[in-house]
Amino acid sequence: MSNNTYYSIYSSPYGDIALTANEKGLTALAFQSGSAAIKLPEHTKKNESLFKEVHQQLNQYFSGERTAFDLALSPQGTPFQQKVWQALTTIKQGETKSYAWLAEKINNKKAVRAVGTANGANPIALIIPCHRVIGSNGKLTGYAGGLALKAKLLMHEKAQFTV
């Protein structure tokens, strides 16, 4: 198996989204307007056909037809980050959870700060729904795409939160 990385740009209602993938699955999804914008490495090749299913599911999500994604994912991270990201995938659309809930979900109640750091390092935003994690007080907390984008995504999903 080769180590090729491919990319595509998806135009969402909230701005351009850069997508990267390898043969195993999606490796990154980043809104290009936020601080987590992807700078594509030189060896990355454009391949729209590889992202056809991702684009289709994103179209369905933004049109309100899809509430969960079913895509092959290949995020790169530490075992701890992987555990946090896996727990994030259990938060359903329309729900929000706290960092304390996330720490408890991975059976490490004392790791609230580390969970927050792993949440912020999530390379596949939206599909691994890190935007659904808010403060214990119900208020929005950091998001690589910016708090305005986080609020728009949560409003799109009809989730409850405090500004």
Note the CATH architecture for domain 79-156: Orthogonal Bundle (1.10)
**Domain positions in the chain:** 6-62, 79-156
pLDDT for 154: 96
Q: Which fold has domain 6-62?
A: Double Stranded RNA Binding Domain (3.30.160)
Please determine whether the domains at 6-62 and 79-156 fall in the same fold group of CATH: no
Residue 130 annotated among the catalytic residues of the structure = yes
pTM of the prediction? 0.91
pLDDT digits (tens, 9 = 90+) for 131-158: 999 998 989 988 888 899 999 999 999 9
Q: Do the strands 45-46 and 6-12 form a parallel or antiparallel pair, or are they unpaired?
A: parallel
Residue 113 — pLDDT band, cuts 50, 70, 90? very high
Which residue is catalytic, options 102, 130, 140, 144? 130
Distinct helix (H) and strand (E) counts, the chain: 5, 6
